[in-house]
């Protein structure tokens, strides 16, 4: 197939990365274009056609894939052999399978984490980084998101989320246990409430009903895998990214950060930029969502700038 304006890939299918996991991928755009790897957030959210709006289909050759357990990858929602280290290995397997030696890496939220960790492990394969909504996967970020930091800004949203957890229980562990239950109704309820929590403060735009947002992506795999990763500190030593920042100091990096991002607080983006000498920081009047208007404009502009300057 040839890519067209209706977001169709020119190649798609599955890549077996282990005996258990098979990852869904799409190649989109110009087969001879500038190579870009798109890393979705969550973990577990998967990619969707709306993620293609950042890429000029004549200019870029974009790899999209659903990470282990996410969206169209198989098995759905699986946490078995699902760690950051496995995801890093998967990226190399995908690049090798599809014949890409090196790529620009484009990721937001958890996608920014995975992009940074991948670059630390495989700097020779990363031509540049375009990041949005920085998540450093450290105690600061985890505590803000899941240990009550949100209640200072959205007390009503936090109350709805927390009231389903018995007193004395850890919210992340409790939600994960319920989501992995064989009781399908119970599992769906807790997955829905986890995703509803995030969608309630995802964008700077007023959300009339967060439930509407949940219809557009695989919220259950996101809920399960987010809880799994957060429970395990994202399978990274504390401050792994910042402690290894010197390994990617030479990689040209653009950081787009919403001033009103309540999921990934701007302090993390400022900290990353302060230690990453070859980076530019763009603060937008936006929330966490990549499609908040200023985030979208900045991401498109910065991708073009970085890929043009390297020519």
pLDDT at 299: 98
pLDDT attached to residue 5? 54
Beta bridge partners of 106: 38, 130
Active site residue 288: yes
Tens of pLDDT, residues 102-131: 999 999 999 999 999 999 999 999 999 999
C-alpha distances (whole Å) from 302 to each of 17, 115, 256, 281 are 32, 16, 9, 10
pLDDT above 50: residue 197 = yes
Q: Which residues, in sequence order, are CB contacts of 215 under 8 Å at separation 6+?
A: none
Which pLDDT value is given to residue 109?
A: 97
Backbone torsion region of residue 265, taken as left when φ is above 0, otherwise alpha when ψ lies between -120 and 50, otherwise beta? beta
Residue 119, CA atoms < 13 Å, CB-side half-sphere: 32
Q: Is the dihedral of CA 17, 48, 229, 282 positive or negative?
A: positive
Q: What is the pLDDT of residues 219-242, one digit of tens each?
A: 899 999 999 999 999 999 999 999
For residue 310, is pLDDT > 70?
no
Per-residue pLDDT at 2 exceeds 60: no
Percent of the chain at pLDDT exceeding 70: 95
CA 247-250-251 angle, 5° bins: 95
* pLDDT single digits (tens) 72-112: 999 999 999 999 999 999 999 999 999 999 999 999 999 99
DSSP class of residue 292?
S
Query: What pLDDT does 4 receive?
Result: 43
| pLDDT on residue 7 | 84
Average pLDDT, the chain: 93
For 137-171, write each residue's pLDDT tens digit: 999 999 999 987 899 999 999 999 999 999 999 99
Which of 288, 289, 290, 292 is catalytic? The answer is 288
Pairing between β-strand 22-29 and β-strand 11-16 as defined by DSSP bridges: antiparallel
- Taking the C-alpha atoms of residue 10 and residue 262, their distance in angstroms, rounded to an integer, is 36
Pairing of strands 103-109, 279-284: unpaired
The predicted structure's pLDDT at residue 1: 32
Q: Which domains does the chain have, with CATH numbers?
A: 11-137+236-309 (3.40.50.1820), 141-234 (no CATH)
pLDDT in tens, 235-277: 999 999 999 999 999 999 999 999 999 999 999 999 999 999 8
Catalytic entry in 109, 112, 187, 200: 109
* Lowest-pLDDT choice from 85-94, 140-149, 188-197, 300-309: 140-149
pLDDT value of position 208: 54
With residue 257 as reference, give the H or E element that holds it: strand 253-258
In this prediction, residue 3 carries a pLDDT of 39
Q: Tell me if residue 261 is catalytic.
A: yes
Q: How open is the CA angle 34-37-92, to the nearest 5 degrees?
A: 115
Distances 266 to 126, 132, 134, 244 between C-alpha atoms, Å: 24, 10, 8, 20
According to the model, what pLDDT value does residue 6 have? 76
């Amino acid at each position: 197939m040839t890519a067209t304006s209706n977001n169709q890939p020119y190649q798609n299918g599955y890549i077996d990365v282990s005996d258990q996991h098979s990852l869904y991928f799409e190649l989109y755009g110009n087969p001879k274009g500038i190579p870009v790897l798109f890393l979705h957030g969550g973990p577990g959210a998967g990619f969707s056609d709306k993620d293609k709006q950042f890429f000029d289909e004549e200019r870029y050759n974009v790899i999209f894939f659903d990470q282990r357990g996410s969206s169209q990858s198989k098995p759905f929602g699986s946490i078995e052999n699902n760690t950051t280290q496995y995801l890093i290995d998967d990226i190399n397997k995908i690049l090798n399978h599809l014949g890409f030696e090196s790529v620009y890496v484009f990721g937001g939220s958890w996608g920014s984490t995975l992009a940074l960790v991948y670059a630390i492990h495989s700097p020779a394969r990363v031509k540049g980084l375009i990041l949005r909504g920085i998540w450093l996967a450290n105690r600061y970020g985890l505590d803000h998101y899941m240990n009550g930091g949100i209640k200072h800004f959205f007390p009503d949203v936090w109350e709805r989320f927390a009231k389903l957890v018995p007193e004395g229980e850890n919210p992340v562990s409790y939600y994960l246990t319920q989501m992995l239950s064989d009781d399908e109704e119970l599992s769906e309820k807790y997955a829905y409430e986890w995703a509803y929590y995030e969608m309630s403060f995802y964008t700077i735009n007023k959300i009339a009903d967060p439930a509407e947002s949940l219809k557009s992506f695989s919220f259950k795999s996101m809920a399960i895998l987010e809880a799994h990763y957060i429970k395990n500190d994202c399978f990274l030593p504390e401050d792994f990214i910042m402690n290894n920042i010197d390994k990617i100091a030479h990689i040209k990096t653009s950081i787009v950060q919403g001033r009103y991002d309540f999921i990934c607080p701007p302090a993390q983006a400022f900290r990353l930029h302060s230690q990453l000498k070859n980076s530019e920081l763009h603060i937008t009047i936006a929330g966490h969502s990549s499609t908040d208007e200023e985030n979208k404009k900045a991401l498109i502009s910065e991708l073009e700038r970085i890929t043009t300057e390297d020519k």
